[in-house]
Amino acid sequence: MHDKAPNLKMKILILTDSIANPRSIPVNSAVTLEQTYPYILRNIFKDATFWQLSCGYMTVESLANQAIPYLSDWQPEFIIIHAGINDCRPEAFSELQKSILQQLTGRFFRFVKRHVYNPRLIRIRNKSRVSKKSFRKTLNKLNLIFDTSKVLFIEISANEKYEAARPGVMKKMKEYNDIASEVFSDGFIPVCNSLNEASAFNQDNLHINSEGHKIIAQSLIKSITNTC
Amino acid sequence: MEQPENIDILLKEIISDVLEMSIMEIDNSASVRSLCNWKGIKHRLIIERIEKEFDIQFSIDERDTLISYKIIRATIIAHKR
């Protein structure tokens, strides 16, 4: 795969939550920086200029709010978005409610925390940090502002076992993926099945191991070279 | 949903009115960098007038992104869809 990719002068913006970052834990599925797919892309497209924002727990909306004012004039040829699980996954409490609970309980929050992430409570409350309407709004906005860029949206993915920790997450993922696929159409990159078939999720059933990074890198290289 | 042309007209009216400039001076590349008086309290006034005239509410984080005509226009359209 490495020999076939052309050296193209282009600008690539990568917006992700923690999923594109290296990980040292769990040890048996640790991922080094060199094994992450953004790093693999840098090695393949050596003439390209990259700008990457990968930050844990961030929603697509918060990533977009960073990219829009700083990078809208940069006009990248490609924008890779790999986030959305933080937008859609079911929660028992909203961010505001969590913050209030934390303020009220102080150092005793660690005792309350297990209830905040209690699967039964999550199933009952079933809140998402970002509504479907707001998620769609953000994607539409990105499309309009970066109107000369090709957006590649990587499917929001998790192993089915993640359902035990976050009841209802599979349904939510499908709903939000449907929105992304509608907004970006041919820029939507399905990866969930390949990741599951290759056992590419780590023990938290959410983040990916080095094999997962390879799979995503291959999908992106294919999409970018087919578009150029 | 409002037509993009109508959004253009109203948006340019708001910006030119707050900045006390001719509407002809507000083009699609207008931004806080290109127009020297688009800053401070006038920027806040522009945002508040847009929210009122288009009947939308920007989030606090979103407000920080509204630094050019193109971004504001896209944000309004995205809100209205």
pLDDT in tens, A10-64: 999 999 999 999 999 888 889 999 999 999 999 999 999 999 999 999 999 999 9
Rounded Cα distance, A84 and A57, in Å? 10
Total domains present in chain A: 2
Section A175-188 average pLDDT: 97
Residues A140 and A52 in one domain: yes
> Cβ–Cβ of A141/B70 closer than 8 Å?
no
Residues of B in contact with A140 (CB under 8 A): 77-78, 81
Residues A122 and A29 in one domain: no
CB within 8 Å of B12: residues ≥ 6 apart: B23, B26, B69
Residues A51 and A155 in one domain: yes
> Cβ–Cβ of A144/B62 closer than 8 Å?
no
Which pLDDT does position B1 carry in this prediction?
A: 55
Q: Is the distance from CB of A223 to CB of A186 less than 8 angstroms?
A: no
pLDDT in tens, A59-106: 999 999 999 999 989 999 999 999 999 999 999 988 888 889 888 888
Q: pLDDT band for position B25 (50/70/90)?
A: very high
> Cβ–Cβ of A145/B79 closer than 8 Å?
no
Residue A99 forms part of a structural domain: yes
CATH class of domain segment(s) B4-80: mainly alpha
Residues A48 and A66 in one domain: yes
Residues A46 and A159 in one domain: yes
Residues A101 and A184 in one domain: no
Residues of B in contact with A61 (CB under 8 A): 59, 61
CATH number at residue A137: 3.40.50.1110
Residues A158 and A214 in one domain: yes
Flag whether pLDDT at A1 surpasses 60: no
Residue A77 forms part of a structural domain: yes
Residues A84 and A17 in one domain: yes
Q: ipTM more than 0.90? A: no
Which structural domain, as residue segments, surrounds residue A218? Answer: 11-90+131-227
